[in-house]
């Protein structure tokens, strides 16, 4: 994964609990069903 940015968010119960109120508001109106993944190639 050289030159790649990799992140996983909301994969732990404490993170979901912290953001629970925000998830109920627009535009989401529900918590995510799975972890949120980010893969991005580093641009030089």
Q: Give the start-end residues of each E strand in 1-44.
A: 4-9, 36-41
Mind listing the pLDDT tens digit for each residue in 15-44? 889 989 998 999 989 988 887 787 887 766
The 10 Å Cβ neighbour count of residue 32 is: 13
Per-residue pLDDT, 26: 94
pTM higher than 0.95 for the full model?
no
Question: What is d(CA 19, CA 9) in angstroms, rounded to the nearest whole number?
Answer: 11
Q: How many residues does the chain have?
A: 44
Per-residue pLDDT, 3: 75
Q: Where are the domains of the chain?
A: 4-41
Indicate whether 1 pLDDT > 60. no
The count of C-alpha atoms lying within 13 angstroms of the C-alpha of 7, restricted to the half-sphere facing its C-beta, is: 8
Per-residue pLDDT, 43: 67
């Amino acid at each position: 994964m050289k030159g790649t940015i990799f992140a996983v968010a909301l994969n732990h119960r404490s993170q979901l609990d912290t953001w629970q109120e925000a998830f109920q508001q627009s535009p989401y109106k529900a918590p995510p069903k799975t972890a949120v993944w980010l893969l991005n190639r580093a641009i030089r």
